[in-house]
Structure 1
Amino acid sequence: MKKIIALGASSSSKSINKTLAIYAASKVADASINVIDLKDYILPLYSVDAEGELGIPEGVHKLDNIIDSADGLVISLAEHNGSYTAVFKNLIDWLSRIDIKVWKGKPMLLMATSPGRRGGESVLAAAKSYFPFMEGNIVADFSLPSFYDNFSNSGITNPALASQLSEKIKLFAQSLETAATLTSSKL
């Protein structure tokens, strides 16, 4: 059974990105899902001074270990003023102090959604260019525009968008299989 992290890059209790990440991860066959809630990782604002004074918070070490033990990542990015949420960027900054290879080369389905027509395209583009520097292995990406018009409790209601996400999930699942095969052949 594959171990997948589902993370909505927002600390909102009603995060539509967390909803989308969980939904997409649940569509991967033979997988257990570990939902990461950023409300569980409220950290001091990263600075060299804070790190020197406090060290790296235990929660950051815990999350680093969770990422390390996962087979894949489903991350859906909330967009604040065209970029990452402050809580998510701060978490990345802390994680990078343990290992600059934050994403550890794990297969990643990278997504974004928003209430608007662009569906978080700006933050998705930023992550697609930035995450590879942190060993982000983005195997597929997806933007869901107008979340409240295109998503219900049963999932994506727009057939074209549902089909598009289904194809992206297939690519992600295939990459998990490929990674598992490579890992087992090394043992």
Structure 2
Amino acid sequence: MVVERIVDRRSNLRLFNFYDPYHEEKMFSFSSDKQPKQLHTREQMIMFHSPVIESFFGAGFRKMSIIRHPYYCQLLLQLVHGTQLQLSYTAIGRLLPIANRYKVYSVVRKCEFRLLCLMKNDASSETLQEYFNLALRYNLKTLWNVLLKRVTSLKELKVYTSQMNVGTMPGEAMKKVAQRIFSFG
């Protein structure tokens, strides 16, 4: 018998147990040389959320090696299973590349929502530049729109966009920047 959930009394969260393996036929595993060495999840859940991992099943793979950051892979699995975590900016910065790589867009959106919450409390210009960069890199459209609305002048907008690679900016993001430029005129 596998214990599916663990109650963390410190944070008052019900965390899912990914340490104990399930029945072999219904399981997908992540392995690492760092702790935790093995993470196990039900194949249905991960296949539903990640078309990339679903394609691994089609090729007969049931195990995947995670070279870096097994802790963030564990966070990804917690979020996929519906755990409501209060992620830090740093955790989001490490989690977004993993979620984006495996096309786990539900986790990308949860990270975006958390960034919106964090941004309300931290509005320095250096931090906003970091938020702009994340929004552009991971195509976080809602965050992008909220950030553009916070810009109060054309001069400020130039400062933020001058530090971005405008040549690689998606067309939709470029349109929003152009709209914001014309709103100052």
Please give the TM-score of this superposition, normalised by the length of structure 2: 0.24
Question: Which is bigger in relative contact order (C-alpha 8 A, separation at least 6)?
Answer: 1
Tell which structure's C-alpha radius of gyration is larger.
2
Please give the TM-score of this superposition, normalised by the length of structure 1: 0.24
